Structure 1
Amino acid sequence: MASSKIVKPKVSSSMLESPFHFFKVILPSPPGDQKLMIPPLFAIKFGHELNNAASLTLPNGRQSQVSLKKDGRNVWFRDGWHEFVEIHSITTGYFLVFKYEKNSRFRVHIFDTTACEIKYPCMSEESENVKDEMVDSEDCVEISKRLFAQKSLKWNCKFGASLENSKVKYKCDPGSKKRKKEELAEKNESDELDLCDSLGEMGIYVSKRCRISAEGKKRAIRIARLLKLKNPTFMVILLPRDKHYAYVPAKFANEFFSRDAQSVKVQVLNETERSLHIHWRHKGGFFLSKGWAELSKAKKLAEGDICVFELIRKEDVLLKLSIFHA
């Protein structure tokens, strides 16, 4: 009778170093609970290498910074987690998959209650490297056309190389790509500044991120003239991501809001006032976050719609919202 011998399988170093995944199902939480606990097994395995802050990266490239709270073997995502949840409209029943990439860096995929992955807000090429901050083109407009072209060129060449490796022919022409990007950047910058100047003459603030067609620009100006507003006002021309949050221009925010403001009331026509959460940007201006997604859904807001916010009460600030669908 042949003897049997148990042989332990060898585990390669590559297997040990492979990325670690875990998932979290979002469950109902007590009011004021604004943190998410990391699975204990993960904390035991990697807790020693976690810093005080973690980076969360979505498939669209957007990165958010959240603090990590440690208590023995327990670890939570804490400061910044609530904003991450609000920005992406994460609610009870959502399913999040985390891929740990070392050095406190995580890639996150978000699935809604249909069990399908959500559609992430688009990221512009200019903001591909921006971290811990939601970006609007008010800053991007100030980026030189030369830098814009260089980034585009770098991306195109990388893309060409990846396609070549996949046995798909793709020709990267640095010269023509650079010229096209420079022309596009120059045209967009001119259009944006023209719209800002036109609305500014009527006392209406607007973010310089408004990249819309010539017809859309005319429509925005036509609406502004029609309203004949006398109170401080700002306009938001909706982009795809604006169903999650809406940006309040820095000049308007800094002039009429104190930096410690955490919420603002908004009223549509004669409806009940809604309280919306404020998420300040480091460079000024803020986003309407918590409560905005609900309002956006209720009013069926979509890309191209124009929202006009008029400041009608300075004490216990109240903004009157007028909506013009595309």
Structure 2
Amino acid sequence: MLGAVLALGSVSCTTGPAGDSMETVFGMAPAGPDGTASAPAILGQQTRSLTIRDIVRASFEIAKDDLQPCLNADRRARLASLQPIKIIDAKKLHVLSVYEPQSRTITISELTWRNFAFAAMSEKLAEIDNRFDVEWRTRYRLFLRNKDAFDDVQSPVQMAGLPKGWIGAEVSSELVRHLMEEAQYNATFVLAHEYHHHLEPVARQTGESVSAFRQRLREHELAADRFAMDMMLCRSVIERSLDPMVEVPQLFFDWILMLEGKQHALSAETHPLDHHRARNAANYLIQKLQLLSPSPDRLEMIGVTRELVKVADDIDREGPSVFFGGINEEAKTVTRDSLRFR
């Protein structure tokens, strides 16, 4: 069960220490007359000098622009008061993003997003080298889950022990574009979720008990996920493609496998369990997709999303402590040396 579940996740977003360039992370070989490879135009840099932080920052800027057509004039005006997105270098903050109502700021945990990018990178690398097979990628994800100090984690290329220059410049540029696309779609979902918190603030009512207020906060999180799903559906309609929606189940797969049970205890008081959020979002997505005209792509999307519901049901059936206890024990057995290619 564990291997099958881990193999389902194909990851999402991106970021990493500001000093880790793409050349360092990918082991890229310089090419071309100036010794560099070109990056997507939105980034305005050469791939060789890019950092993963550049990618995540650009992806949120793109997501912000892409959400504009999906928001009415009133919502756009209210969102204008938001401060610029803040990316923090949190070593042990196991969250994707946080909305701070007092400062009207959305904060992104950089190192958490970096690990999501690394997992996504391993999926793409499997198309280049068959040594990045399902077994290796499963063990790599277990290693990511087991590391509390995120700055102690390296990219798949580095963990495999591949030499600098292993990836050519052309492939490196394609890899950056792949991460950029995934980051854009996932940033759209996360940003829309945080937008909902800003647009529909929750305050404790007079005479309301602490437990009742916390329950409302948990329900508010589910509502924010559904709002984000509507925004993703809007983007899919605009792009005439299901590609944005495909990333949502993958985001939740890795969210469960890499983060559930690792967040700060306060998170459980205000947020549903991650796999409950995943099931809520998946069922909502299935409901929406079933309203659309049937097509092979949509039927496949429904099938993938139902797998996410099944995973959440399996966790409840086995019990989260037992389910993740087994994952945690297996994660402890994965060493750096075991991930190096022989």
Scaled by the length of structure 1, the TM-score of the pair is 0.27
Q: Where is the strand percentage greater, Structure 1 or Structure 2? A: 1
Scaled by the length of structure 2, the TM-score of the pair is 0.26
Q: Where is the helix percentage greater, Structure 1 or Structure 2? A: 2
